[in-house]
Amino acid sequence: METTTNKNETFQNLLQTLVETPGPSGSEHLIRQKIEQEVREFADEIYTDALGNLIVRKDSKGEGGKRVMVSAHVDEIGLMVTHIDDNGFARFIMIGGVSPYTCLGGRVLFMNGTQGVIGLERLDKDEKPSLEKMFIDTGATSKEDCKISVGDVCGFERPFLDLGKRLVAKSMDDRVAVAVAIEALKRIEITPNEIFFVFSVQEEVGIRGAITAAYGVDPEVGIAVDVTRTGDTPKSNKMEVALGKGPAIKVRDSSFIADPKVVNWMVREAKEQGMPYQMEVLEAGGTDGAAIQRTRAGVPAGCLSIPCRYIHSPSEMVDREDLEHSVSLLSALLSKGIQL
Amino acid sequence: MTEKMEISAKFDPQFGEQELDLLNRLSNALAVSGDEQEVRAIVYEELKEFEDNMHTDAMGNVLVTRKGSDPERIRVMIAAHMDEVGLMLFKEDGDGLFEFKVIGGVDPRQLVGKPVIIGRDHVPGVIGAKAIHLTTKEEREQVLKVESLRVDVGLGGSKLVNIGDRATFATSLAVLGPSLRGKALDDRLGVFNLIQLLKNAPENIDLLAAFTVQEELGLRGAKVAAYHFNPDIGLAMDSTPANDMPDFDGEPVSSYNTKLDGGPAIYLMDGATIGDHRLVKWLTETADAEGIPWQYRQPGKGGTDAGSIHKTRSGVPSVSVSVPQRYLHSAAGMVRIADELNTLKLMHAALSRLDKTIINPQERN
């Protein structure tokens, strides 16, 4: 039991380190370094491609094995400065899908270490808040005094919370999947497969990194690991995914239809492992799976989803057991010969 | 990066009669997305010296390779799109009137009352609307929808045009002191600049020039052009809006995008691309070293051919540089000649000091 506890603690520490490292799309250098340090001793080859994807190869193709690409994106949503006014207030646009509602009262951390808070102009009666009416206040008293400039990038800042069964942080999307992929990489002992763990960039701005990574890796099978929405909160959207009911096996989202052969393979393995799982039909949203599926002459691809509440808010919530089951499912899938 | 400044010092672009003549032909040409033949012909005419290293690909892109002599040279793709936004005749109503569709991002409010030219023969027409004498106050407050507008070619002219013909505004390039006014300067300025760069290319690079098609419909031509070239880095030369209007109510405009006279606009992020940090730095440092004015294009929406180039094959570090322009995608845009020349100067100086260390992974952000 003691080893399990230690393992869980290590995993949670890793997750906390990952979510607390800023890395909005296009500025993934810090998070990439963290991941590289973590995986180096488990990799047979590591390289960074032209767009900044970190590609980690484990093993070579053996008898009955396949070239598999596992993709978890390292970038997070964030903001980019567009203008600094004479009083030192910074205007911004979003990087990825940022809701004005979650910005209100928000705190941000720039890549250069500068911190700030988000303020809002006076709104007309019944006017909804919009990003155009907001600004970042870094405590500067003038333009000259401001430590940031046009083009500087920030992520949201919020402490990691351990709520017992549930964990809360900003950027669980998709650092929780990065942590799951790293943990699976560590656990795989013997495999006939040549596995490429891709820690992809620029997913939040249009699944861009996975497009070039998939072309370069040229896999025979692809699995994206990402978070998915749930339908288990008061008056939420109708959706048959809930926290604590196991990893979600994606059937479709608005970016792609998971290959049925891959879906069945994942279901078969979850049943064999006797672990809880749920089927995911997501109305809106996309993952790296879409890019893998359509690369070159086409690749059977699917997605292992981790149920997550409050996605794209600074307080994204996941279930501790779902994470453990996700790691088990992913490492089991990758450790054996793959029959689709 | 190497310090090959002496090469760039030799290149001092001017805007004389010859240049005005070329830009005049480019701007006045009709090349709405999907039918870029008129501009393609001008490009071929201007680049005769490269005919052995020039071809038109399956989509209509003109691809020119100009090899340098340096054995360690880097392969640089530069894209400038030949197409412009415009109209396509869709249905004949009789009496010389044609219903039309918009090709690319055209603001319907810009259409009413504009003279147009149609098809390869530039048949003249006009987008008419009911005369003010006959309209009600309510009608005058409405924006006329594209579906309710017609191109009128005059009854006899209707035999000279066909359904599917493309049309554009009947604007001729004009020099207004330090400025140029014309249509389709997005992106004929880029085409103009790419022609100049080919003729003055430095020896330390292979210049892979793509005069692209269908940019205005979703960066389509650049996608296959980049696949063909498989370059080390990619650049798009385009034009971007300048919304540099005077202060309003004591408040400076904070979303101006770019400003006229601010020099070439270097992209950090638009809707289609996050500019490679190393390339952004290379351009800004070159501009500073050469004393060329420059500005960031404010991070925002929109896209250039870089959006297609950077996602090609295993990825291509890419960035965009634009000439700032007021009234983009309308019958008449306005640019400063100085901004245009400074863009060309910056591009040439930057290319001249380029080598493979630019894509050093240690330097990436």
What digits encode the pLDDT tens for the residues A98-111?
999 999 999 999 99
Asked if residue B339 belongs to a domain, the reply is: yes
CATH of residue B48: 3.40.630.10
Residue A81 pLDDT greater than 60, yes or no: yes
- The pLDDT score that the predictor gives to residue A9 is 73
Say if residue B207 is in the same domain as residue B300.
Answer: yes
Distance from CA of B320 to the nearest CA of A (A): 14
Find the CB nearest B299 among A48, A52, A151: A151
Q: Identify the pLDDT of residue B5.
A: 47
Same domain, B206 and B328: yes
Same domain, B192 and B292: yes
Sort B245 into a burial class: Cβ within 10 Å, 0-12 / 13-18 / 19+: exposed
Closest-CA residue of chain A to B251: A85
For residue B245, the model assigns a pLDDT of 84
Interface test with A, best of B276, B310, B311 (most A CBs within 10 A): B311
Q: For B311, which of A80, A150, A211 is closest by C-beta distance?
A: A211
Rounded Cα distance between B319 and B312, Å, is 14
CB contact under 8 A, A51 and B269: no
CB A49 within 8 A of CB A55: yes
Chains A and B form CB pairs within 8 A to the count of 74
Q: Are residues A260 and A252 in contact, defined by beta-carbon separation less than 8 angstroms?
A: no
Instruction: Determine, yes or no, domain membership for B174.
Output: no
Asked if the structure places residue B309 within a domain, the reply is yes
Residue A7: per-residue pLDDT:
67
pLDDT of residue B1: 46
B252 at A interface, C-beta within 8 A: yes
Q: Which of A212, A218, A294 to mutate to test the interface with B (most CBs of B within 10 A)?
A: A212
Q: Exposed, middle or buried: residue B293 (CB in 10 Å: 0-12, 13-18, 19+)? A: middle
Chain A residues whose beta carbon lies within 8 Å of the beta carbon of residue B269: 26, 80, 93, 95, 151
Residues 104-143 of A with CB under 8 A from B: 132
User: Shortest CB distance from A25 goes to which of B274, B298, B361?
Assistant: B274
Q: From CA B71, how far away is CA B77, in angstroms rounded? A: 18
> Per the confidence metrics, is the pTM higher than 0.90?
yes
Confidence grade of residue A145 (pLDDT, cut at 50, 70, 90): very high
Q: Are A67 and A220 in contact (CB under 8 A)?
A: yes
Could you tell me if A274 and A263 are in contact, meaning their C-beta atoms sit under 8 angstroms apart? no
> Which one of B117, B141, B169 terminates a domain?
B169
Judge whether A216 is closer than 8 Å to chain B, CB to CB.
Answer: yes
Matching residue, tokens 């810090």: A30
Low-confidence ranges of chain B (pLDDT < 70): 1-10
Catalytic residue among A183, A194, A203, A324: A203
Token duo for residue B138: 């309510």
Whether B298 contacts chain A with CB within 8 A: yes
| Domain membership flag for residue B177 | no
Give me the long-range contacts of A64-67 (CB less than 8 A, separation at least 24).
Answer: A64/A192, A64/A337, A65/A191, A65/A192, A65/A193, A65/A194, A65/A337, A65/A338, A66/A193, A66/A194, A66/A219, A66/A220, A66/A221, A66/A337, A66/A338, A67/A193, A67/A194, A67/A196, A67/A217, A67/A218, A67/A219, A67/A220, A67/A221
In three-state secondary structure terms, B167 is: strand
Residue B178 in any domain: the answer is no
Retrieve residue A107's tokens: 């705190």
Final residue before a domain boundary, out of B169, B196, B230? B169
Which chain A residue has its CA at the smallest distance from B309's CA?
A212
3-state secondary structure of B209: strand
Min Cα separation B85/chain A (Å): 25
Mean per-residue pLDDT, A267-277: 98
Residues B321 and B226 in one domain: yes
Query: Do B281 and B158 have their domain in common?
Result: no
Q: Does A212 touch chain B (CB under 8 A)?
A: yes
Residues B355 and B230 occupy one common structural domain = yes
Residues B205 and B71 in one domain: yes
Q: How far is B209 from chain A (nearest CA, A)?
A: 21
Asked if A93 lies within 8 A of B311 by C-beta distance, the reply is no
Instruction: Give kind and range of the element (H or E) at residue A148.
Output: none
CA distances from A174 to A67, A106, A170, A179, A308 (A): 23, 20, 10, 9, 10
Report residue A294 CA to chain centroid gap: 20
Here the CATH number for the domain that contains residue B136 is 2.40.30.40
| Same domain flag for B203 and B269 | yes
- Asked if A51 and B365 come within 8 Å (Cβ–Cβ), the reply is no
Question: Does any domain span residue B175?
Answer: no
Question: Does residue A55 have a pLDDT over 70?
Answer: yes
Of B255, B268, B314, the CB nearest to A50: B314
Q: What's the confidence (pLDDT) of residue A244?
A: 98
- Dihedral sign (CA B68, B70, B71, B75): negative
Question: For the residues A24-46, what does the mean pLDDT come to?
Answer: 97
Domain boundary at B141, B169, B197, which?
Answer: B169
Q: Which residues lie below 8 Å from residue A135, measured CB to CB, with a gap of 6+? A: A85, A89, A90, A91, A92, A118, A119, A120, A121
Of A27, A119, A124, whose CA–CA distance to A76 is shortest? A27
Q: Any idea what DSSP says for residue B328?
A: T
Query: Do both B100 and B62 map to the same domain?
Result: no
The residue segments making up the domain with residue B91 are 86-169
Residue B87, SS3? strand
Q: Does B311 touch chain A (CB under 8 A)?
A: yes
Is B30 inside a domain boundary?
A: yes
Determine the Cα–Cα distance for residues A167 and B352; give it in Å rounded to an integer.
53
Based on the domain organization, do B187 and B264 belong to the same domain?
yes
Q: How many domains does chain B have?
A: 2
In terms of DSSP bridges, do strands A194-200 and A67-73 run parallel, antiparallel, or are they unpaired? parallel
ipTM above 0.85, yes or no: yes
- Per-residue pLDDT band for A20 (boundaries 50, 70, 90) equals very high
Residue B59 within any structural domain of the chain:
yes
How would you classify the pairing of strands B123-128 and B179-182? Answer: unpaired
- Are residues B95 and B206 located together in one domain of the fold? no
**B 29-58 near A (Cβ less than 8 A):** none
Q: What is the pLDDT of residue B95?
A: 93
Mutation pick from A83, A110, A133 vs chain B, by most beta carbons of B within 10 Å, is A83
Interface with B, mutate which of A46, A51, A288 (most B CBs under 10 A) = A51
Q: Which domains, and CATH codes, for chain A?
A: 2-76+170-335 (3.40.630.10), 78-156 (2.40.30.40)
Pair B113, B52 in one domain: no
Beta strands per DSSP E along A49-100: 54-58, 67-73, 78-84, 90-95
**A32: closest chain B residue by CA:** B365
pLDDT over 50 at A316, yes or no: yes
> Is position B215 annotated as part of the catalytic site?
yes
